[in-house]
Structure 1
Amino acid sequence: MDVKKTLDHINNQVFKNTLMTTLEIEVVEIGKDYVVATMPVNSKVYQPDALLHGGATVALAETVGSLASHVSVDLEKYYVKGLEITANHLKSVKNGLVTATAKPIHKGKTTHLWEVKVENDQGDLISLVKLTTIVLPKKK
């Protein structure tokens, strides 16, 4: 897999005209068992108190977790859908860049469980998210 080409395709084609574009989410790394993406913290993702909105954080986390699930299955035979997401927000962020890293807790035949850590520019954990996805066979 040509990682640079894959990142370019995801960021400029797959994410085109989606929530990921609106929130300026950019996938910056893809590995065998992880995906990393960033999102700027600015007025687009603020809650009324001028802090990063938890929903924007969850959207970032679901993006990396779902993508991680997608890249770990044969997409010609299967498709992936989200089942459940939970988030614990531990710290607030006013500006800068947040980085989300998805790593597997469990990758079974039909369900995947991902841990997503969202950190601020200083590497502080701001949210800890768990995402469950389901892997379903495509109908022929």
Structure 2
Amino acid sequence: LSLRCVATSPRTEEAARRLGLAVEPFGTFERLDLAIDGADQITPDGWLVKGGGAAHTREKLVAISAERFVVIADSRKPVPRLHGPIPLELLEFGLGSTLRRLGTVHLRDVPRSPDGGVIADFTGHVGDPAVLAEVLSGHPEVWSSMASSRP
């Protein structure tokens, strides 16, 4: 079995290398067979909040590039409905304007993402996940950790 890996964060890359896995830059692949990631919340109707590990943009790019995307979570992760905080990655350019338009967002006191994104949490009412996902995706400078397993 030949296994070549892409890591979405420096921390994941370091862990993979310690395990003896061959980690290569994402740009060397035209496609990925499989992407595996974790989640912090999973609802019965297929919505999930991915982890707050501050690599949202990279995780989304890897997930959409893979033929199959598998989410692994332990028994503490199923929830009846999504709740805050919802991790976000924000573009620094125009950050004040973004924060004003989003409203209830709290900036985290953590290092930037590997690509320089500002890490924050949406702390407002989640309500209908599809509506919130649409609102957040309407801001090109915002990358949300929300996803749906439904097409």
TM-score (ref. length: structure 2): 0.30
More strand, by proportion: 1
TM-score (ref. length: structure 1): 0.31
